[in-house]
Structure formats: structure tokens, C-alpha cells
Chain A
């Protein structure tokens, strides 16, 4: 599975409601994500990719595609697969 699909799946799995997620989905406006949901997603990403993500790295995230950009930036090896 490519990186985009994996990340979308992780987000979908960490939501209280069943919602469709795409690269353009806005975490706050479309998914009503609160700070604990954000933490759930961050820790799930850490598990999946065996990486560490700082809360502060995540502060600027708005859209799902921003997460992909961020991960590629802080862990370039993820973009290579």
C-alpha cells in the first residue's frame, strides 16, 4: 500500500464516526478532530512507521495531504517506498 493510502486508513481507523477521508479532507472542519483525536492519530502513525512525531510538528497541519508532506519532510525514507 502506498504512503497516502496507509495514512488515510490510519486516520479513518482513529475517528469516532465512520467518515470518508481524502487527501483534501480538513482535519478540523471536516472531521471535527479535537486534541485527543490528534494525539490518537499521531501515536498511530508512530506505531505504523516506527517513528517519533513531536506534537509541535503537527501544530500547522490542516489537510490530510499536509500530514503526508510533514512525514516525508521529517522522515525522508518514508517517501522512497
Chain B
């Protein structure tokens, strides 16, 4: 192919954004996650970030990060297996394992990378991986890279999962992969039932708790606390960049698994370790959560309930989930982006999900209200839902 032709083939279809004169993606934000946030010099109520607990701009976390820089500098310029493994890296692994109650943990530069890097280590050609239909792109990416048999099951459908497990006795190892909180709609996996099915059919469960950690469970310790799962024998992964307000990813589980990953996971061994300030910040977040999670979560849930109650009263169809995520069902891509645009014009920032992030004609507008938001900001958003948004979209 001629190089011009090649670059032409990469062209992105922006016709809808052009038609609506609005592109909700790559908005340039010029503040931290404060309330309000600043975009192009204007103030917005932020109902878009995954800053569930509102710790991303917390003074104590910022101070800890500065201490991390002062002591260790900007970067260790090495992968964890080489010079990247500072003492606080190990401390974070230990504190995280203790936080979710598993044997051991290893930290990756991102959650996406952790999910991608995991499967080539654990799955072999004659294994089977069964995954929830709506699981995250990073899990699909990791699973597909193994070349082993891959079977999706219907979203959160235990009868379908069991049917697949029942007919799977010809495989060497079987893995059952899912997410705790499905982030486009806020549904929570019946992970206790999945673990039981795995036990029955001798499969290994893999859970991605990216939107659950810090958020679900009585004290915010994620899916294992939420579903009261003790002595977890499976694999746990999460992003550290959402409620925990840092960056990075985690794989946790049995000591043998983590030891194998430390020495044979190429996505870990050949990638520069998280920088020291991020690690120091995450340690502070875990410390804060030990003391304050119940109180912070109370505020987060209060906001979530107010938002979904109001939107329902106004007449919007919502994706019903029990996580602190409220998603307006927009349907087709155009309507989904139009609703997002109307909210944006009302100085409210939300996240639209359109295909391929969601199935065709299942566009959603996701709303997450962090515990850092002022009650007056929530009230202002609710007022907008009841007036302008109703006028434009509810017939």
C-alpha cells in the first residue's frame, strides 16, 4: 500500500461530532479534580471522573506524593525486577494484600497492562477461558493474546455460565473471568455464586475489581468484602487509578501465582516501575481509607441515590445497577451524544459510552458523583435535570 493510502485508511469518522458541533472526547481540562473543575476557562460540575471517594485532590495525598518525590525523586528509571523496586513499592504490595485480604500482590504500571500481561502467563493452548460478555477491553485483549479457547457467557447469567462449565471437561485448566462492577451500567457480578461454581467445576476465578475497590463492601475493600468471600483461591486484578486516586494496576492472589508473575510476566519485567510519588500517594490513600472509608462512602451513596431518584422522577430510563454509577440509557449514538452535549451546555460533565464500548444502540451517559463534590453542586445538577434536560428530552 502507498503510504498516503495507508494514512487515509486510518481516518476517523467525525461526522457526528461535526454535525452536533460537539466532541465529548479529549476535552482539555485545566484544573485538578476540584469542585468545580475548569475546562477552557469555564467552571463545570464533574460527574464524569472515577474519583468516587474524592481523594484525587486531597491535601494529605498530595503532601504524601511530594514526600515521595523529595525522598526518591521523579523516577527509578528501571523495571520492578531491576532498580524499580523501592522499599515503599514492597510496602504498598503488603498493605494492599492486607487491605483486600489475600496472600500477595504485584503492582503494574496500569490496570490495562496488568490484565493484558496476566493471561499469557497463566493460560496455555489446551486451556479454556470463559468470560462475561460485558467484561473490559483489557481482559479481552489479554485473553485473545493467549490463543486458547475463549467462550463468553451472557452478562451475569449464572445458568449460562454453569452450562458452559458443564460442557468443558476436555480442557486442562478453566478460567472464569469477570468484573466486579460493570462500569458502563453499574451492575455488580454475583461473584460469590461464580466462586461457588468455580469450586464445583474446578475452575479458577479471575475478577477485575477496578470499579469496586474502595467503593463496594462495607468499608470499601471491594468485591471480596462485598460478597463476603474468605480464603479466595482465585486471581484478583484492579486498577489503582479510580477510587484509589493514583495510577497503576494490581494482580493479587496466592503466593505461588505472584511469585511466578514476578519472574515470568513480561508485561511486568520489561516495563518501568510506577514512579515513587504515585506509590507514596497510594499508601496514604489506603491509610485514609482505614480510618475514614465508612464516612466517605456514606456521602458518595447519598449523592448516588439523589441523582438516580431525580433522573427517574424526571422520566429518564436508567440502567439499574447497585454500584454508585447512574447511567441514562441514551439508545442510539446520536441521542446519547446529544444528551451529553445538553448536560455540557448546562455546565455538567458526564461520560457518553457509544459502540464499540457498549453494544449497538445501547448508548449510555454515565454519571459518577465523587464524595468531594459540594452538596450545592449536586443540587445544581439535580435542578438542571428537572428543568432543561426534561424540557429537551422527555416528551
Q: Which residues of A contact B (CB under 8 A)?
A: 14-16, 28, 32-34, 36-37, 39-40, 43, 47
Docked-complex contact A34 and B356, CB < 8 angstroms: yes
Q: Which A residues touch B150, using CB under 8 A?
A: 39
Docked-complex contact B167 and A32, CB < 8 angstroms: no
Distance in Å from the Cβ of B363 to the closest Cβ of chain A?
Answer: 11
Partner of A32, one of B133, B151, B155, B362: B362
Which partner residue on chain B sits nearest A43 by CB separation? B151
Distance in Å from the Cβ of B359 to the closest Cβ of chain A?
Answer: 5
Docked-complex contact B155 and A39, CB < 8 angstroms: no
Docked-complex contact A40 and B359, CB < 8 angstroms: no
Distance in Å from the Cβ of B325 to the closest Cβ of chain A?
Answer: 19
Distance in Å from the Cβ of A43 to the closest Cβ of chain B?
Answer: 5
Docked-complex contact B152 and A40, CB < 8 angstroms: yes
- 11 A–B contacts, CB within 8 A, in A order: A15-B154, A16-B359, A32-B359, A32-B362, A34-B359, A39-B150, A39-B152, A40-B133, A40-B152, A43-B151, A47-B167
Q: Which B residues touch A34, using CB under 8 A?
A: 355-356, 359-360
Q: Which residues of B contact A (CB under 8 A)?
A: 133, 140, 150-155, 167, 355-356, 359-362
Docked-complex contact A39 and B361, CB < 8 angstroms: no
Partner of A16, one of B155, B167, B355, B356: B155
Q: Which B residues touch A39, using CB under 8 A?
A: 150-152
**Bound-complex Cα distance A33 to B151 (A):** 15
Given contacts A32-B359, A37-B359, A39-B152, 10 further A-B contacts (CB under 8 A): A16-B154, A28-B360, A32-B360, A34-B360, A36-B133, A36-B140, A37-B133, A37-B152, A40-B151, A47-B167
Distance in Å from the Cβ of B137 to the closest Cβ of chain A?
Answer: 11
**Bound-complex Cα distance A47 to B167 (A):** 8
Distance in Å from the Cβ of B279 to the closest Cβ of chain A?
Answer: 35
Docked-complex contact A16 and B360, CB < 8 angstroms: no
Q: Which A residues touch B362, using CB under 8 A?
A: 32
Secondary structure dominating the interface of B = loop
**Bound-complex Cα distance A14 to B160 (A):** 9
Q: Which B residues touch A15, using CB under 8 A?
A: 154
Q: Which of A32, A36, A43 has the most CB of B within 10 A?
A: A36
Distance in Å from the Cβ of B290 to the closest Cβ of chain A?
Answer: 39
**Bound-complex Cα distance A32 to B133 (A):** 14
Q: Which B residues touch A16, using CB under 8 A?
A: 133, 154-155, 359
Distance in Å from the Cβ of A35 to the closest Cβ of chain B?
Answer: 8
**Bound-complex Cα distance A34 to B150 (A):** 15
**Bound-complex Cα distance A32 to B150 (A):** 21
**Bound-complex Cα distance A33 to B359 (A):** 7
Q: Which A residues touch B153, using CB under 8 A?
A: 40
Partner of B154, one of A40, A43, A47: A40
Q: Which A residues touch B356, using CB under 8 A?
A: 34
Q: Which A residues touch B359, using CB under 8 A?
A: 16, 32, 34, 37
**Bound-complex Cα distance A39 to B355 (A):** 18
Return the 8 tightest CB-CB contacts between A and B, nearest first: A32-B360, A36-B152, A43-B151, A40-B152, A32-B359, A34-B359, A36-B133, A32-B361
Which partner residue on chain B sits nearest A13 by CB separation? B160
Docked-complex contact A14 and B154, CB < 8 angstroms: yes
Q: Which A residues touch B361, using CB under 8 A?
A: 32
Q: Which A residues touch B133, using CB under 8 A?
A: 16, 36-37, 40
**Bound-complex Cα distance A36 to B358 (A):** 12
Q: Which B residues touch A37, using CB under 8 A?
A: 133, 152, 359
**Bound-complex Cα distance A36 to B143 (A):** 12
**Bound-complex Cα distance A39 to B152 (A):** 7
**Bound-complex Cα distance A47 to B164 (A):** 9
Q: Which B residues touch A32, using CB under 8 A?
A: 359-362
